[in-house]
Amino acid sequence: MSAVTTTDRRPRLDGVVPLTALGPGDTGTISYVDPDLDHSVQHRLRLLGFCEGREIAYVRRAFWAGPIVFRVCDVHMCLRAEQAAMIHVRTGA
Amino acid sequence: MSSALSHHAHAGSADSGGGSPRIALIGSPNGGKTSVFNRLTGLHAKTGNYPGVTVSRSAGVARIGGAEYSIEDLPGTYSLSPISPDERLVAELLDGGVKGIGAPDGLLVVADSTALRRSLLLFAEVVQRHMPTALVLTMSDELTRRGGSIDTEALGRALGVPVVTVVANRGIGIGELRELITGWRDWSVPPVDPPTDTAELAGWVDSVLAAGGYEDPRADARTERIDRVLLHPVLGTVIFFAVMFGFFQAIFTWAAPLQDGVEDFFGWLAGLAAEHIGNPLLSSFVSDGLLGGVGGVLVFVPQIVMMYFILALLDAVGYMSRAAFLMDRLMSRFGLEGRAFVAVLSSFACAIPGVMATRTLPNSRDRIATMLGVPLATCSARLPVYILLVGILIPDGTRVGPFSGRGVAMFLLYLLGGVSALTASAVVKRITGRHDGVLPFYMEMPPYRIPTPRSVGIAMWEPTKAFLRKAGTIILATTIAIWALTTIPLRGDAELAAAGVDPGDEVAVTAYTMEHSAAAAIGKAIEPVFEPLGFDWRIDVALLGSLAAREVSVSTLGQMASALDPEDDSEVAQGLDGWTYTDGPRAGEKVFTPATTVALLLFFAFALQCMSTVAIMRRETGGWRWPSIAFGYMFVLAWVMAFLGRAVTLLIT
Amino acid sequence: MRAIRDHLRRVSRPADARPGRRPPGAVTHPERTDDPAVLRWVVHGTELPFTGPLASAPGLDGLLGGDLEAVTVTPGAVLTTAAPGRSWRELGPRVRAALGTALGSVADWLPGPGARRLDADETLRWCARELIDGPVGRIATAHGGAIELVDAHDGVVRVRMHGACRGCPAAVVTMTQRLEAQLRRRVPDVRAVEQA
């Protein structure tokens, strides 16, 4: 029912993947934060806006495999790849 | 709205009747909290440290309706659950106070209204403490511009706490905020604690925002457009370097005329003092010690002000996080993070702002590592020394390809400074690395915002004031100390004549006085330490002088070389050229051989001579441990590098 | 008529996948009422089946008659009355959990005596009345005036101003706009608020 502007490109991924699997133009819904992570770190990531159920979009990545910028909860947050890999999202239409 | 607080969990000082009510501002960084704080406290704010930690503290007083309120601007945070020792301190403060600082009476959460869906998560944590709480929404003009909206009153009902909306940088809504603060006793918390499970909590946030008529703002189109250029892999990097280049241009080239002006002014004043003060000791004290010291501090000021202005402007606009984003990969190779680059960058002007800039780093290990590395960057105080020594080492007119030999040497010294600063930080980080809390790296990229001149002014003035206060007093004190060591006792005419010095010849008198002063005695005493490097006791006296400020060593060398004008490098160089060792195994040999010059250059490159830097380090780390370690390791490093440099030069020449 | 309503629905609820918005489920939060024993749990994302006392619902059954003296359903909110001596600070989380369960299966709710489903006009009137008796009316009183509900029919609400608000064009515009904005959050189909 949502009037999502469909891009011409089909989503390449479906299912639950780490954030690092997202590329330019991809969006997803946060599924879970790696439970093996230190609890305080998990909590912090959530309070930054990376909560289960929130929509997240890939924005850009720094040159030479640097940090990645995501848009979530109306803000742009950047994470290093190591942290981004700990957050898992559900992608696909 | 009736307060649903059944009890105040922790009675602040105001409740027990002593002192003004303490209001703490809590909110995320980039959320407009600082603007709110500035609006409430005007310029009556003090910056310092929390006891025992390197966390900076901002507190001030708001005068509203005849009463005083103590406003504490807590460090920007996304959560009250600490993941680092610094954050733990803030949590302790809220719990029941920290030694010397009482717990707050009221908590004012400052939230960016364009990021409300995220900011309410922090709000939910704050209200769990059951203290009188209220909410301030900032950036409401931006919210409207980006197609969002909020019904402040409805939100207040939904949350169960008073809510006001402000546009802090334009002063809109501040009157309401001030009124809100006077009614702090009526602040409240939601009737039921928000859920702790994050999925449920997100639901609570969504429900509250729906009831509050919140429309999420669209992504900021302007920011997107600008970022497409500024963060473009190629173009963005080019622009970054252009900005860096502009930064250096500003602080060196543009500030130079102002610096010359300051120097000329103080030179003129010193001349006046020498003319009009009869007593020779007092005259010397005023012109060389006092004015020399004050002038020595103030000559920095144009550069420091220029630097802080640019940094404040870039930060207020929002470019700093972009720069840190671009630099993070490089910085992480040295064990640091993107935000550390500001500290390294500032240190190319002066290590003191560099050390102070480490406050922005959330990880205390990063702060220590950066602090211990940045004094190695080629600061502007090293420049006069480099210029003199490079002038001695490399004859004028030498060319390396299309570039001047001296220019290449200076560039290499700058490169050396930068690389060694980063490497030292990396090493310190590795060594102190045993038990690291797994601090994740994250950074918000705020939308680009047009800053007000007032906020940039405050952001620029505060650190400049701190610099003047801290560095100023130290430099002045040490300059006077060095003056005393090199000038006292003044020699009487008879004594001078007996030693074969013409009492009327000022230059000769100065040289003689210096060579027989207390400083000279010290220089001779420490000579054995520097002997393997090829320094003679006169160079050691100059090194002693460098403890006040590095460029003092240049003037000291100049005075001992009997130069008419110690500022004229070529004249000084000529004088130094004639020096020969007065005693010891090399007696009679020339002092300033290429080997010695290289050794001296490298010694200056690596040694931490600047006492003000040591003093600032002490203040930032809260103790003498780290400054002593810094001083010690850099001394050893400088000695070793100078020795190696000398050895290598001897081999090649 | 339906076409107009559908159009209004689309206009008033911009449907886009803005990052941050989770897919609609039932979400709720509690608000204070004038009675300290009563909490108003505002519900979004699910339409409530009737208006009036609740006899039974999954999850809430464990609390009804014990910790909760009564539960009343209204358009867009559930009112819970705590039994004497209970504190909301302690009881609240349990009620939230129970309500969450209940909202998951709204079809299984059993109405109490006098409870029934309201039609569109009745819902509109109820919500308008709630706002006029509550926050919107309070603002009018604060300015020395009053607002009176005249009629609510087919998406249009008619009100009459009194006191200081009457005759002041600014007051009329502000009050009607305010009422309309707040009303639309509860009843998306509202078309206009007019002066009678």
In this structure, is residue A38 part of a structural domain?
Answer: yes
According to DSSP, the residues that pair with B163 across neighbouring strands are: B135
Cα B615 from Cα C148, distance rounded (Å): 71
Burial class (CB in 10 A: 0-12, 13-18, 19+), B601: buried
Say if residue C131 is in the same domain as residue C106. Answer: no
CA B533/CA B596 separation, integer angstroms: 7
Residues 6+ apart with CB under 8 A from B243: B314, B319, B323
| Beta strand B106-112 pairing with B22-27 | parallel
The mean of the pLDDT values for chain B is: 85
Q: Give the per-residue pLDDT at C4.
A: 56
d(CA B441, CA B430): 17
Query: In whole angstroms, what is the distance from residue B40 CA to residue B174 CA?
Result: 8
Backbone angles phi, psi at B134, to 5 degrees: -140, 165
User: What confidence score (pLDDT) does residue A3 get?
Assistant: 44
| C positions 145-174 inside 8 Å of B (CB) | none
pLDDT score, position B435: 55
Contact between B55 and B49 (Cβ < 8 Å):
yes
Neighbouring chains to A with at least 3 Cβ pairs closer than 8 Å: B, C
Specify whether the CB–CB gap between B393 and B598 falls below 8 A: yes
Cα Rg, chain B, nearest whole Å: 29
Where does a domain end: B218, B239, B274? B218
Structural domain span for residue B595: 475-652
Asked if the structure places residue C44 within a domain, the reply is yes
Percent of chain B at pLDDT > 90 equals 37
CATH number at residue C166: 3.30.300.130
**Peptide bond before residue B233 is cis, with ω within 30 degrees of 0:** no
Res B1 pLDDT > 50: no
Average pLDDT estimate for B244-265:
86
Question: Using the beta-carbon criterion (under 8 Å), do B1 and C32 form an inter-chain contact?
Answer: yes
Q: Are B377 and B384 in contact (CB under 8 A)?
A: no
- ipTM reported for the complex, 2 dp: 0.86
Residue B613 resides in a domain: yes
The tokens of B115 are what? 């990021």
On chain C, the residues whose CB falls within 8 A of the CB of B162 are none
The CATH number given to whatever domain includes residue C31 is: 3.30.1370.70
Classify residue A31: in a domain, yes or no: yes
The whole-angstrom distance between A53's CA and the closest CA on chain B is 7
How far, in Å, CA of B466 to CA of B454, rounded? 18
Which residues is A16 bridged to in the sheet?
A: A90
Is C2 among the domain residues? Answer: no
Q: Is the pLDDT of residue B11 over 80?
A: no
Measured distance CA(B16)–CA(B2) in Å, rounded = 22
Of C16, C17, C19, the CB nearest to A72: C19
Contact B151/C181, CB-based, under 8 Å?
yes
Quick one: C89 and C129 in the same domain? no
Instruction: Output the pLDDT for position C110.
Output: 93
- Which CATH number characterizes residue A61's domain? 2.30.30.90
**What is the reported pLDDT for A8?**
41
Structure tokens at B146: 């980006």
Within a domain: B11: no
> Do both C150 and C80 map to the same domain?
no
Within-domain flag for A5: no
Q: What is the pLDDT of residue B436?
A: 57
Instruction: Please tell me the predicted confidence (pLDDT) of residue B310.
Output: 92
For B82, the closest chain A residue by CA position comes to A40
When divided into structural domains, chain C yields a total of 2
Amino acid at B83: I
State whether B442 and A53 contact (CB < 8 Å): no
pLDDT band at B454 (very low <50, low <70, confident <90, very high): confident
Contact residues, chain A to chain B, C-beta under 8 Å: 37-38, 40-41, 43-49, 51-54, 60, 62-67, 69, 71-80, 82-83
Considering the domain boundaries, does residue B511 fall inside one? yes
B596 vs B590: CA distance, rounded Å: 10
Which of C57, C87, C111 is the last residue in one of the domains?
Answer: C111
C42 and B193 in contact by Cβ < 8 A? no
Give yes or no for residue B475 having a pLDDT over 60: yes
* Burial class of residue B418 in the structure, from the number of CB atoms within 10 Å of its CB (0-12 exposed, 13-18 middle, 19+ buried): middle
The minimum CA-CA distance between B362 and chain C, rounded to whole Å, is 26
Residue C17 covered by a domain? no
Please calculate the CA angle A26-A29-A32 and round it to the nearest 5 degrees: 125
Specify which of B17-26, B155-164, C184-193 reaches the highest per-range mean pLDDT. Answer: B155-164
* Number of domains, chain A: 1
Residues of chain C whose pLDDT is less than 70? 1-24
Q: Cβ of A55 and C15 within 8 Å?
A: no
The answer to whether position B589 is within a domain reads yes
Structure-model confidence comparison of residues B494 and A20, the more confident one: A20
| Run of H or E residues at B506 | helix B506-515
Cβ proximity of B104 and B12 under 8 Å: yes
Do B184 and B106 meet the contact criterion of CB atoms below 8 Å apart? Answer: yes
User: Is C80 within the bounds of a domain?
Assistant: yes
In this prediction, residue B516 carries a pLDDT of 80
What sign for the dihedral angle of Cα B557, B561, B562, B568? negative
C9 lies in some domain = no
**CB nearest to B445's CB, from A43, A76, A83:** A76
Q: What is the pLDDT of residues C141-188, one digit of tens each?
A: 888 888 889 988 998 999 988 888 777 888 888 888 889 989 988 888
- Count of CB atoms situated within 10 Å of the CB of C11: 9
For residue A77, tell me if it sits in a domain.
yes
- Of C111, C136, C168, the residue that ends a domain is C111
> C42 and C98: one domain?
yes
Question: Are both C33 and C61 inside the same structural domain?
Answer: yes
Chain A residues with beta carbon closer than 8 angstroms to that of C18: 55, 74
CATH label of the domain that carries residue B132: 3.40.50.300
Q: Check if the beta carbon of residue B338 is closer than 8 Å to that of residue B328.
A: yes
Same domain for C40 and C93, yes or no, is: yes
Identify the bridge partners of residue C195 per DSSP, sorted by sequence position.
Answer: C159
Looking at the structure of chain B, the number of domains it has is 2
Q: Omega of the bond prior to C49 within 30 degrees of 0, cis?
A: no
In a domain, C107, yes or no: yes
Which pLDDT band, with edges at 50, 70 and 90, does B57 fall under? confident
Domain closes at, from C85, C111, C137: C111
Judged by CB atoms closer than 8 Å, whether chains meet at C44 and B210 is answered as: yes
Q: What is the pLDDT of residues B376-406, one digit of tens each?
A: 999 888 988 998 889 888 887 778 788 888 8
**pLDDT band of B492, cuts 50, 70, 90:** confident
Q: Which domain holds residue C134?
A: 120-195
The CA distance from B566 to B555, in Å, is 6
Q: Residues B408-440: pLDDT tens digits?
A: 888 899 999 999 999 999 999 888 875 555 678
Flag whether pLDDT at B4 surpasses 70.
no
- Give A73 to chain B, closest Cα distance, Å: 6
Residue B482 in domain:
yes
Same structural domain for residues C148 and C171?
A: yes
Q: Do C96 and B192 touch (CB under 8 A)?
A: yes
A10 in a structural domain: no
Q: Please identify, among B218, B242, B265, the residue that sits at the C-terminal boundary of a domain.
A: B218
Instruction: Please answer yes or no on whether C19 and A3 come within 8 Å at the CB atom.
Output: no
Q: Which alpha helices (H) appear in C30-188, and where do they start and end?
A: 88-104, 120-133, 135-142, 169-186
Mark yes or no for CB contact B328/A66 under 8 Å.
yes
Residues C32, B154: C-beta atoms closer than 8 Å:
no
Lookup: tokens for A43: 């909590």
What is the dihedral angle through the alpha carbons of B72, B75, B79, B82, rounded to the nearest 10 degrees?
-110
pLDDT at residue B540 above 50?
yes
- B220 CB neighbours in chain A (<8 A) are none
Give the structural domain span for A42: 15-91
**Confidence band, pLDDT 50/70/90 cuts, at residue B569:** confident
Touching subunits for chain B (3+ Cβ pairs under 8 A)? A, C
Helix (H/G/I), strand (E/B), else coil: B189 = coil
**Nearby residues of B558 by Cβ (< 8 Å), 6 or more positions away:** B565, B566, B567, B568, B571, B572, B575
Query: Sheet harboring B442-444: ordered strands across?
Result: A15-18, A87-91, A27-33, A55-61, A68-72, A75-79, B442-444
Pairing of the two strands A75-79 and A68-72: antiparallel
C55 within domain boundaries: yes
